[in-house]
Amino acid sequence: MNTKIDLSTTYLGLDLRNPLVCSSSPLCKEIDNLRRMEDCGASAVVLHSLFEEQINIESRLLDRYLSEGESYGEAITYFPDLTQYNVGPEGYLEHIRRAKASLGIPVIASLNGVSSGGWVRYAQLMQQAGADALELNIYYLPVSPELTGQEIEQMYERLVHAVRSTVTIPVAVKVGPSFSAIPNMAKKLSLAGADGLVLFNRFYQPDLDIESLDVKPTVNLSDSSELLLRLHWVGLLHGKVPVDLAITGGVHTPEDVIKSVMAGASAAMMTSSLLRHGIERLKSLRSGVLDWMDAHEYESVRQMWGSLSQQKAAQPAAFERANYMKVLSSYATH
Amino acid sequence: MSRRKVTIDGNEAAAYVAHKVNEVIAIYPITPSSNMGEWSDQWSSEGRPNIWGTVPTVIEMQSEGGASGALHGALQAGSLATTFTSAQGLLLMIPNMYKVAGELTPTVMHVAARALATHALSIFGDHQDVMSVRATGWAMLSSNSVQEVMDMALISQACALECRLPFLHFFDGFRTSHEVAKVEELTADDMRAMISDELVAAHRARSLSPDRPVLRGTAQNPDVYFQARETANKFYNAAPAIVQQQMDRFAQIVGRQYKLFEYVGAPDAERVIVLMGSGAEAAHETVEHLVSRGEKVGLLKVRLYRPFAVDRFISALPATVRSLGVLDRTKEPGATGEPLYIDVIAALQETYAAGKSPFAAFPRVIGGRYGLSSKEFTPAMIAGVYNELARQQPKNHFTVGINDDVTHTSIEYDPQFSTEETDTVRALFYGLGADGTVGANKNSIKIIGEDTDNYAQGYFVYDSKKSGSITVSHLRFGPNPIRSSYLITRASFIACHQFVFLEKLDMLRAAEPGSVFLLNSPYPADQVWHQLPNKVQQQIIDKQIKFYVIDAYEVAKQTGMGVRINTIMQTCFFAISGVLPRQQAIEAIKYAIKKTYGKRGEAVVQKNYAAVDGTLANLFQVNVPSSASSTIELRPPVPPQAPEFVQGVIATIISGHGDDLPVSALPLDGTFPTGTAQWEKRNIAVEIPVWDDKLCIQCGKCVLICPHAVIRAKVYDTGKLAGAPESFKAVPARWKGLEQMKYTLQVAPEDCTGCTLCVEICPVKDKAQPKRKALNMEQQLPLRETEAANWDFFLGIPEFDRTKVNTNQVKDIQLLQPLFEFSGACTGCGETPYIKLMTQLFGDRTIIANATGCSSIYGGNLPTTPYTTNSQGRGPAWSNSLFEDNAEFGLGMRLSLDKQAEYARELVGRLTEVVGVELAAALLSADQTNEAGIVEQRKRVNQLKAKLDGNPAPEARDLRNLADMLVKKSVWIVGGDGWAYDIDFGGLDHVLASGRNVNILVLDTEVYSNTGGQMSKATPRAAVAKFAAGGKPSAKKDLSMMAMMYGNVYVAKIAMGGNDTQTVKAFMEAEAWDGPSIIIAYSHCIAHGYDLIHGIDQQKAAVGSGYWPLFRYNPALVAQGKNPFQLDSKAPNLPLEKYIYNETRYTMLTHSQPEAAKALLVQAQEDVHTRWKMYEHWAAMPPTGKPPAPVLPATEPAPVAAVITETEKVEK
């Protein structure tokens, strides 16, 4: 293996030793796991998300059941009401503090808010707790037929702007692929202050149980086929919008990492691969990338960064509609 | 020194001091003293130190007997130790109390004094319990108010140490223990100043220690015991002076002066009342009022009751006294008088005989009883006593506050007499249990107590139902100290938090002219008038009441408060009562919200803020017309067709006028008719289930799970439909062979609580619209009348023939009539379906021994009770003895029934000629193992009776009387886990060992549910409960395994929601087994902290996770060569956390102590794993007739990482 190969990259202004970043997942809840991620080669970790809605629900449930009773003289309450409860963000903030104290690699906190006040408040607290950067995990499902795409986009902009005005650390925005005009949206988010974009959020989708006639929430791990959508959009955006790009969803093999970088991503983030194969998987990914680069005589990641983006690729039209036509005709020829 | 003003109740006041000046605290729950233990446990778990800087050790014991034993031991080993109790709990401590006093041990026990269980249990306050221990040698110090409780708690501790005597510090249960009042909090410095370190050291020096060994607790003989008993005299002789010195010392330090006997009133009083407890405060208020009118009356408050200091008592009385009325809050049947009366007589007599009497003549003394079971004791009654004293021939041994029309003990009084001060705000709030009214009012008292110079008092009245109950909050605020230890009957402010109460309660009866009435109304201000009952309209007009409305539920909905309207109604109160300037009040409410809810999270604070802000814009004053126009009348408490006793007595209690019932109206010995719950149409469900007859598959699961027996099924001949209401639904029965018959599933609309468990369990879904099931919830009000008519028609259809029901299938169980219906249990209760099932299967031949607890409260608390009869008049006979003896109580029933049956069989044998050979043989050899056999035997018994009727021979008469004993009887011993696992475990064990044919049903909610969720030994590891504020560190006791070890005990562990077929099987097998049987039934409970709509899912999860494995151990299988142990549930397929973290009892530990929660989860998962392995092993054992010895894991418990791996395996 060529030890001279330079894997380093830059993401959100943070110097990373390689593009392998562990994305937000339940694995990140344990400090031991974070340490193992670092030991196995991760260049940064995105912590599991702080869900404002979850905090609110937990608060309300706690309040509801602690308040239950008051109907019968022998059982006016059913629980001791203790002096304090850890229902706010404190547990998460402590996790950031412990992660920072335990790791040498950057720690990116992840926030999923529901109220405008919540986004700003928690972002501030995360910075104070020592996070190196923030990833805003905006997961808004527009269920109302009255709500327009424009309104939603403006909401995203306002939110990013509000957080950006509050914190000094870099801010990335993790978005879904459902915008009508992704490049324009990327530009707006950049203007609102985003330092990076993470493409794309994987939304948990309910499945239908046709035996029990139930709708069931499901969590499926990704596979490499999901990478293509990300490569496509990162390839299109690279160099056109002044933000760092990261790919999340579908990164499973060394080749996937290399493709991500070549499309223009500064970081290739992964969760499913680690959940499926364990954190140790990072080691083989890293060595696989090195082996490939060695075999193909690449000296550094920077050398390949964005090399297959629309801007730099030999066939820029392949990113656009022509590609659609080509695929169809190629099928036809078989 | 400035001391903090706090607004707390009597229990907290006592616990505050007790926790500060003790090192070991032994606790056990019993109402109304449980809170003292709860506070102590919580404070210790939070690390709050005592005045010496160390955190007291708090331990829950298995009973009050255990607590007193632990107290005795802790004291003997040199600690400062205490305990708290009430009622029968105190009686369980008596043996140790004699020991502690006999050994001259300083300690203080704090007692919220309560009525004793005699003809009935009562949780309310009087002095029957403390008077029962007056012979034990404990000094007895009484507190009359919340402030006094805090003060006397400290004074008694100082006195105990100096006197070398144990002190029983008591105050009135509920009236003082639960009254919230603004008091001055003693400081740690006050306590340090009062507690002498030298005396503490002396106590330790007397303790048992191997470093300076002594022997205590000898056995003594006639030669010395007597003399030794007299050695203690000097301590008792010295005690009164010491107590007064300590009271004086307290006065120097704190500024409040107390006396052993404290006189209030005219210095030249001629008529004086003597009493102790909270009633003395009302008497104090009355005396001041009467004296201001020139009456020569006075009051002597007794504080130190034991040792009774005769000289101090005499000297405290004015020499002008001519007559004394001694009032006891207790009853000693058959005595020459109640205890305080006798003591006063003796004191006067001794003084007179010694020639020391200061009185011109020997005062006339009369004794009276008042206030039993928190019966109101008002200034009117007290004035009545003074009037009685003024009579020429006053009544002695009188009662006051009741109408004794049987033995004519009661004295007359003028109920209109009042001493209420006009500058005191008196407010009444009618709320629905759990709507937050009480909590909001406690908050209001705190606000007024802490933000103004006003004195404040709050007292809260709850009703006897656990679902749909009404709470009444009585709040007083004013510039003068509040001594009114009685309910408000003249209110300047009345709030009705539930519109439906208007048709049930005459709440404006208490409204004073010009008062304010606040109504939570779904109707706007311009429409509400026409929705009021006529009587309410008339009262508003007549009394010129200022009338305000708010749609609080709408505001709550808009502001995220759900159904909690507490903050909204509280804001209204402040906005219109004028107690505080409006803006200041709003700020104070918000501050209180932050203080109360801040720790529960910002979201909770914000929604409450939003509720405050949203309130004022929705609060409107109503323009009151000049005349009443409504045709709406108050609903009668019971329907007119109810039986006479129900119309006369029960209805009076339901309507809130039970105080008016005379002695003659009540049963002599506590015996009540069954079947009364059916008459109390509570109409508490907002929505009820509606049957979709086209979708229904007639599986009967809804009928089985319904906690209140309000959904029932019948299969009947088509001809029975004649005359059915138009909306009555009937479909062909879906039973093989019964297709020609009709099936109806009917809901009792006025008895349903709206819990939705029936809908949740319904397995059917509409194919086109799966959210629709065969049962769907719909608004009750529009359906009430039609469905009530349908219900009445349904009841008239004959029950299905029991002998044709296949009890092996759940589907058939729905056709058995429940003989337990419409209980006042919590909405969605997890216990009652099991009891109901038992009554369906065996109710017409069952006697129930019921341990005190939830099941005895919803089973037997007045006014109405759920056990009922079938059309033949048969049904469960039910009784509650105590908490601590229920297994033995039930065994006694079994022995009695068996003996009588045995004698009856002997008589059949002896009287064969009279009975007839054939009938006698049939009677003696009858197979009664199934319903048909029992029906046949009943027929034979009827023949027997007919043959014996009129036969004058003594044996024939005996057999006639005992003939029913020839029919099989089923004895069920029912109780909760606190009973079975803890307080009566010894008795239960003995009963299991007896081999007798009793059936034990343990309704396992894993806490003492009835007293508010205290830990029992059934509480699982990692769960938070009261008395386990830091999470229970040890595993749940495996009661089933213990029972199985006997080999001849039928044991089943069941969860109806997990497997209903197994549940039914277990009941059938348990009853069939001719020996002891025990069924441990998973009972979801409000104390688990989740919405009980999901009770069934949680039961499934409990079973699926392996936490609650289902099994049956049936000794009868041994004879068939089979393994008696049958595991009925599958291997765990769900990680424990997926089950437990749906419940607040577990999640709150993750919020309060996350690291501990994590560690306990790992251990709890390991518990499941280990136990499952053991059960699996047993299930695979060859049939030996006896269970194998438990197989413990060969190795140490797996390390954490391995356990997690195992969890993951399970997950996959």
Quick one: which of B670, B740, B743, B677 has its CA closest to B712? B743
| Chain A residues touching residue B596 (CB < 8 angstroms) | none
Q: Is B765 on the interface with A (CB under 8 A)?
A: yes
Tell me which of B467, B567, B599, B1100 to substitute to probe the interface with A (most A C-beta atoms closer than 10 Å). B599
Here the tokens at position B1085 are 């409970």
Burial letters for B783-802: b for 16+ Cβ neighbours within 10 Å, e otherwise?
A: bbeebbbbbebbeebeebeb
Task: Kindly report which listed range (A203-212, B187-196, B594-603, B1128-1137) carries the lowest average pLDDT score.
Answer: A203-212
**pLDDT single digits (tens) B1182-1191:** 775 455 555 5
Reduced to 3 states (helix: H, G, I; strand: E, B; else coil), residue B1192 is coil
Q: What is the average pLDDT across B104-132?
A: 98
Taken as a whole, chain A contains a residue count of 334
B387 is catalytic: no
What pLDDT shows up at residue A202? 83
Are the beta carbons of B87 and B114 closer than 8 angstroms?
Answer: yes
Q: What is the average pLDDT across B19-41?
A: 98
pLDDT reading at B88 higher than 50? yes
Q: What are phi and psi of B271, to 5 degrees?
A: -115, 125
ipTM of the complex: 0.92
Q: What is the mean pLDDT of chain B?
A: 95
Q: What is the average pLDDT across B284-310?
A: 98
Q: What is the mean pLDDT of chain A?
A: 91
Q: Is B458 on the interface with A (CB under 8 A)?
A: no
Q: In Å, what is the CA distance from B649 to each residue of B123, B415, B660, B676?
A: 21, 22, 10, 11
| Chain A residues touching residue B602 (CB < 8 angstroms) | 59, 88
Within 10 angstroms of residue B829's Cβ, the number of other Cβ atoms is 31
**pLDDT single digits (tens) B264-291:** 999 999 999 999 999 999 999 999 999 9
Q: Is B372 on the interface with A (CB under 8 A)?
A: no
Q: What is the average pLDDT across B213-238?
A: 98
Here the tokens at position B500 are 């439906």
What pLDDT shows up at residue B1022? 97
Catalytic residue among B31, B683, B852, B865: B31
pLDDT bin (cut points 50, 70, 90) of residue B1205 is very low
Q: How far is CA A310 from the centre of its chain?
A: 23
Tell me which of A31, A72, A76, A279 to substitute to probe the interface with B (most B C-beta atoms closer than 10 Å). A72
Residue B229 and residue B1034: Cα distance in Å, rounded?
44
Reduced to 3 states (helix: H, G, I; strand: E, B; else coil), residue B33 is coil
pLDDT reading at A244 higher than 80? yes
What pLDDT shows up at residue A323? 54
Quick one: which of B191, B121, B119, B114 has its CA closest to B151? B191
Here the tokens at position B609 are 């803020």
B64 is catalytic: yes
Quick one: which of B370, B373, B376, B366 has its CA closest to B404? B370
Residue B127 and residue B133: Cα distance in Å, rounded?
10
B736 burial level (CB within 10 Å; 0-12, 13-18, 19+)? exposed
pLDDT reading at A328 higher than 80? no
Catalytic residue among B1010, B1011, B1059, B1063: B1010
Nearest to B462 among A59, A73, A79 (CB): A73
Residue A170 and residue B260: Cα distance in Å, rounded?
74
Burial letters for B933-959: b for 16+ Cβ neighbours within 10 Å, e otherwise?
A: ebebbbebbebbeebbeeeeeeebebb
pLDDT reading at B1013 higher than 90? yes
Q: What is the average pLDDT across B857-865?
A: 96
Rounded (5°) CA angle B1029-B1033-B1034: 130
B1010 is catalytic: yes
Model's pTM, two decimal places? Answer: 0.93
Q: Is B1204 on the interface with A (CB under 8 A)?
A: no
Nearest to A78 among B467, B564, B1087 (CB): B1087
Q: What is the average pLDDT across A52-75?
A: 89
pLDDT bin (cut points 50, 70, 90) of residue B1197 is very low
**pLDDT single digits (tens) B678-723:** 999 999 999 999 999 999 999 999 999 999 999 999 999 999 999 9
Residue B494 and residue B513: Cα distance in Å, rounded?
12
Residue B782 and residue B24: Cα distance in Å, rounded?
59
Q: Is B1154 on the interface with A (CB under 8 A)?
A: yes
Are the beta carbons of B482 and B517 closer than 8 angstroms?
Answer: no
Q: Is B770 on the interface with A (CB under 8 A)?
A: yes
pLDDT bin (cut points 50, 70, 90) of residue A317 is confident
Are the beta carbons of B200 and B192 closer than 8 angstroms?
Answer: no
B846 is catalytic: no
pLDDT bin (cut points 50, 70, 90) of residue B1208 is very low
Torsion of CA B6, B373, B301, B288, to 10 degrees: 80
Q: Is B1208 on the interface with A (CB under 8 A)?
A: no
Q: What is the average pLDDT across B634-643?
A: 93
Nearest to B1144 among A61, A86, A91 (CB): A61
User: CA of B88, closest CA in chain A: separation in Å?
Assistant: 15
pLDDT reading at A326 higher than 80? no
Placement of tokens 């405290």 in the chain? B316
Within 10 angstroms of residue B982's Cβ, the number of other Cβ atoms is 27
Nearest to B1012 among A62, A69, A85 (CB): A69
What pLDDT shows up at residue B1184? 58
Sequence letter at residue B704: L
Sign, CA torsion B156/B157/B158/B160: positive
SS3 sequence, chain A?
CCCCCECCEEECCEEECCCEEECCCHHHHCHHHHHHHHHCCCCEEEEEEEEHHHHHHHHHHHHHHHCCEEEECCEEECCCCCCCCCCCCHHHHHHHHHHHHHCCCCEEEEEECCCHHHHHHHHHHHHHHCCCEEEEECCCCCCCCCCCHHHHHHHHHHHHHHHHHHCCCCEEEEECCCCCCHHHHHHHHHHHCCCEEEECCCCCCEEEECCCCEEEECCCCCCHHHHHHHHHHHHHHCCCCCCEEEEECCCCCHHHHHHHHHHCCCEEEECHHHHHHCCCHHHHHHHHHHHHHHHCCCCEHHHHCCCCCCCCCCCHHHHCHHHHHHHHHHHHHC
Task: Kindly report which listed range (A113-122, B90-99, B610-619, B844-853) carries the lowest average pLDDT score.
Answer: A113-122
Inter-chain CB proximity A76 and B438 less than 8 Å: yes
Q: Is B437 on the interface with A (CB under 8 A)?
A: yes
